């Protein structure tokens, strides 16, 4: 029972990440599991279950990793804009 659940979860996570383009963190939040579990499911377990799906997910995760510095900069920018607006109000 447990092994089947884990395999299904890995495939479901992969499909979600491919369809949405979401990050590991976003997928973890959506599925209510840890980032480590998402990473292990889509990076290790999925290779054995469905290698083609694993390659597709890896492309999305690599894109997200390449863009994370941009997301971080935008988040910092929003933070300071919000702080500035709150001081003015």
| 18 DSSP 8-state letter | H
pLDDT at 68: 73
Indicate whether 42 pLDDT > 90: yes
CB count, 10 Å around CB of 34?
11
- Of 10, 17, 65, 16, give the one whose Cα is nearest residue 40: 10
How much of the chain exceeds pLDDT 70, in percent?
97
**Mean pLDDT in residue range 75-82:** 83
With a CB cutoff of 8 Å and minimum separation 6, the contacts of 10 are: 41, 42, 45, 46, 49
DSSP notation for 43-54: IIIHHHH-HHHH
| Model confidence pLDDT, tens digit, residues 11-20 | 999 999 999 9
pLDDT at 83: 83
């Amino acid at each position: 029972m447990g092994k089947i659940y884990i395999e299904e979860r890995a495939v479901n996570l992969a499909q979600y990440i491919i369809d949405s383009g979401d990050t590991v963190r976003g997928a973890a939040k959506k599925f209510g599991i840890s980032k480590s579990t998402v990473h292990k499911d889509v990076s290790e377990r999925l290779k054995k279950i469905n290698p083609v799906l694993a390659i597709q997910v890896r492309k999305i995760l690599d894109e997200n990793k390449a863009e994370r510095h941009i997301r971080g900069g935008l988040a910092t920018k929003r933070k300071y804009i919000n702080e500035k607006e709150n001081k003015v109000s």
